[in-house]
Each structure stands twice: as C-alpha cells, then as structure tokens.
C-alpha cells in the first residue's frame, strides 16, 4: 500500500470574537486529506486532518516541505511490520528529515495536521475507532469512550455586555456542560471580576467556571489577578503569562493556590518538558493543555505523555486545547482528563459526531472507524470535497 496524495486547502474560521491577545477576524486553518491506495467498500481509504484555531493555515509549509517529502519516499519505508498499513512514526520521521531541532515555530502545526490525517487513515485501514487502536497499542488495552468535555467561549465581542455573557454560559449549561470557560485579561481587573461574578451567579451545584488570560499578563499583573481570583472557586486560571515564561508560571504558583492550566502554545515535547521542569506546575491540581494538532501530532504527543510519566504526571492531568475529535480519541484511548469543546465556534471543524450529546459534562464517543469524522455530516462533506 502507499500514500498517493496529500491535499491541503486553507479555510476560513473567522469570527468577530477577541481574546486578551488576538482577534479572530482573519483566522484560518488547514484542512488536509491523505489519500491511500487501500480500497474499502469500493473506495480509497482517505485520512483527514486539520489544525486547531489560533495558528492559521499552513499550506505553504505543507506544499513546500512536508507533502513532497512523504510523496518522494520509498512507499515501503513508511509501512508497519505487517506491510499492510502505514506506520505513523515512520511517516513522521520522513516529514522531519533535514529539520533542525529547536525553534519549533509553526512547522509543528503543519506536521500535526498531516499526522492527524495519517492516524485517521491508519485506524480506518485497521477498521477500528482510533481510540480503540490507541488503547491497544499504547494504553491499558481498554478504551473509555466516555470523556469529560468543557465548554469554551466567553470571548470579548462587540456589544456583548454582562447579559450576553450570561446568556451564552447559560446555553452551555442547558446543553449539558458542567464546566464553562470565559476570557479574562482583555478588560480591566475590576471589569473582569464583574464579568466573572455575573457568570458565577448562574452556576448550580457541581458546575464550575474556568478563566483564560491567553498569555496576556506580566508577572505583576498575573499575581494581581491571582490574588483577586483566589476569592472565587474557579476550575482553573489559564495561561496567565507568556507561554514560554516558565519562571512567571512558577512564581504565580507560589501565590495562587487554586488550579492553574497552561500548555496550548507549547509545540514540542521539549517545550512541554521545560514547563514541567521549570514552570512550578503541580501534578496534584494543575492542568496541561498541549494540543497535538498544533504540536507535531500524536507521534510527538506520545513522547510528551512518556515524558510526563517520567516526571510523575498522570495523563489524567491533560485536557488538551482545540476542541477537535482527535484529542477526544486520545482522551478515550489513553485516559486523558478530558477535552476542550467550543459549542458555538469554529464550525464545522470542532464538536462531536451527529447525535452525540453532552450529559453531566461528558460525551460518549460512537464506535466509528478512524477518528470519527464520518459521523459529523457538515465536516465530512467539506473533507470529501477536498479529496475528490
């Protein structure tokens, strides 16, 4: 068998929302199809992937470097021992030939996007859900298709007052979520506290709020916010400072006793390891949000999980950024703590297969071959249009 083509298309996921650092008025992503010559039900098996919000499409890098490297490889060199399926680790190694270490930039997004499509193809060729394949190969053998999900939103938006924010959060709770997340750091501390309190008022028993500063704060502001936030029972305080400022994170952890979360903008095992080594993150309460779709894919994420284990961290402390089905499959297969979800944003890429509902803050994944994109009609129709 072999990969016969890798198609890429850059698609808009723009909206008028704003976090403390960027607006999404020009946001795009790359949609990728990895076409194989394996025939199932009379049609070639095609794996699909895309990158998460926040880092834009990567068509240039994919076309200039990663696609030609894979297509120019000896097809046999990309296969597993059976010779009947791809080995994602070998495809990854091929993509990364002649790439120096360090300085991960956004090539990690291009590679992560293709890697997602490769795993989708591999699980489809094996004719099983990716979560099942992952549990068998790298986990304890038995997946848990019931996964915790939380609703991310609460963005700054023109004309959106406290009422609008509350209505948004109420609608997530009505849809079955138990944890909701909102942005902070794009207004004054006093205004943000007012916004937070207006959401806390609508939460019932067992429901919690997380807040996300998107890396906006210097140390002084991070600590000022930390002191103010300490009065609230928050699910977590996310990305207070620059994602690469490990000392800031460690200093914050000395004064902020509640749970902290970070990691969505760390794009390699080595960066994640620096956070664990130097960021003062606490394995008994903090959360790690590394997102494979932005950080060299699942091949690299497996290295990150191994690293975490070495440092005494459970995979259950990981709740990835990005709201995509790839991380849902990893969560179900390898016991992550859950996954992000954006109920009203970045469609059709985020979300769940049709008919999957959130109950008590959890979804139960259907047993679809691959990542499960075929179960989401609006998404799979875009994907099929790309590959044809």
Active site residues: 183, 321
Comparing every residue's Cβ against ligand OAA, the nearest one is 19
Among 1, 3, 13, 19, binds ligand OAA (CB under 6 A): 19
Instruction: Record the tokens describing residue 124, joined without a space.
Output: 């489809």
By CB under 6 A, the residues from 53 to 92 that bind ligand OAA are: 54
Closest approach of ligand OAA to the CB of residue 343, in Å: 12
Q: Give the DSSP H or E segment for 44.
A: strand 43-50
Backbone torsions φ then ψ of 336, nearest 5 degrees = -65, 165
- Report in angstroms how near the CB of residue 283 gets to ligand OAA at its nearest: 21
Window 249 to 288, contacts with ligand OAA (CB under 6 A): 264
Q: Does the protein bind ligand OAA through residue 168 (CB under 6 A)?
A: no
Among 8, 115, 192, 212, binds ligand OAA (CB under 6 A): 212
| Partners of 363 in beta bridges | 147
Beta carbon nearer to ligand OAA, 113 or 339: 339
Gyration radius from the chain CA atoms: 20
Residue 291's binding partner among ligand OAA, Mg ion, none (Cβ under 5 to 8 angstroms by kind) is none
Instruction: Give dist(CA 182, CA 100) in Å, integer.
Output: 38
Task: Give the C-alpha separation, 217 to 238, whole Å.
Answer: 11
Burial class of residue 25 (count of CB atoms within 10 Å of its CB; 0-12, 13-18, 19+): exposed
For Mg ion, the binding residue among 212, 291, 300, 340 (CB under 5 A) is: 212
How many Å apart are CA 243 and CA 166, to the nearest integer?
A: 29
Nearer to Mg ion, 217 or 373 (CB): 217
Do the Cβ atoms of 11 and 57 come closer than 8 Å?
Answer: yes
The verdict on 214 binding ligand OAA (CB under 6 A) reads yes
What is the spatial distance between Cα 297 and Cα 99, in angstroms, rounded to a whole number? 16
Q: Least distance in Å: CB of 214 to ligand OAA? A: 5
Contact residues: ligand OAA, CB under 6 A: 19, 54, 152, 212, 214, 264, 321, 340
Contact residues: Mg ion, CB under 5 A: 212
């Amino acid at each position: 068998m072999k990969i016969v083509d890798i198609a890429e298309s850059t698609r808009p996921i723009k909206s008028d929302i704003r976090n403390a650092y960027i607006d999404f008025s020009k946001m795009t992503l790359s949609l990728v199809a990895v076409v194989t010559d394996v025939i199932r039900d009379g049609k070639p098996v095609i794996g699909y992937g895309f990158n998460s919000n926040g880092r834009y499409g990567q068509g240039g890098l994919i076309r200039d470097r990663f696609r030609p490297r894979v297509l120019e490889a000896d097809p046999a060199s990309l296969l597993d021992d059976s010779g009947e399926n791809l080995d994602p680790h070998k495809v990854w190694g091929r993509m990364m030939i002649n790439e120096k270490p360090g300085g991960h930039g956004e090539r990690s997004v291009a590679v992560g996007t293709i890697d997602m499509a490769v795993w989708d193809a591999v699980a489809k060729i094996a004719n099983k859900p990716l979560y099942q394949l992952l549990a068998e190969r790298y986990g304890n053998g038995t997946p848990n298709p019931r996964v915790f999900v939380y609703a991310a939103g609460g963005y700054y938006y023109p004309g959106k007052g406290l009422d609008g924010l509350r209505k948004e959060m109420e609608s997530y709770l009505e849809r079955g979520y138990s944890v909701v997340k909102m942005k902070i750091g794009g207004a004054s501390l006093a205004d943000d506290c007012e916004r937070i309190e207006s959401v806390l008022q609508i939460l019932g028993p067992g429901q919690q709020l997380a807040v996300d500063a998107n890396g906006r704060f210097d140390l002084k502001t991070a600590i000022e916010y930390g002191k103010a936030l300490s009065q609230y029972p928050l699910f977590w305080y996310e990305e207070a400072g620059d994602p690469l400022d490990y000392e800031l994170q460690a200093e914050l952890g000395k004064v902020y006793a509640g749970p902290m979360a970070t990691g969505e903008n760390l794009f390699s095992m080595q960066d994640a390891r620096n956070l664990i080594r130097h960021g003062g993150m606490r394995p008994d309460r903090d959360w790690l949000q590394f997102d494979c779709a932005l950080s060299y894919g699942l091949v690299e994420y497996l290295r990150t999980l191994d690293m975490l284990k070495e440092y005494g961290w459970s995979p259950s402390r990981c709740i990835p950024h990005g709201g995509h089905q790839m991380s849902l499959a990893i969560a179900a297969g390898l016991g992550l703590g859950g996954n992000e979800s954006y109920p009203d944003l970045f469609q059709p890429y985020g979300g769940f297969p049709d008919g999957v509902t959130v109950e008590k803050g959890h979804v139960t994944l259907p047993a679809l071959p691959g990542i499960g994109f075929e179960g989401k009609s609006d998404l799979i129709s875009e994907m099929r249009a790309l590959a044809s």
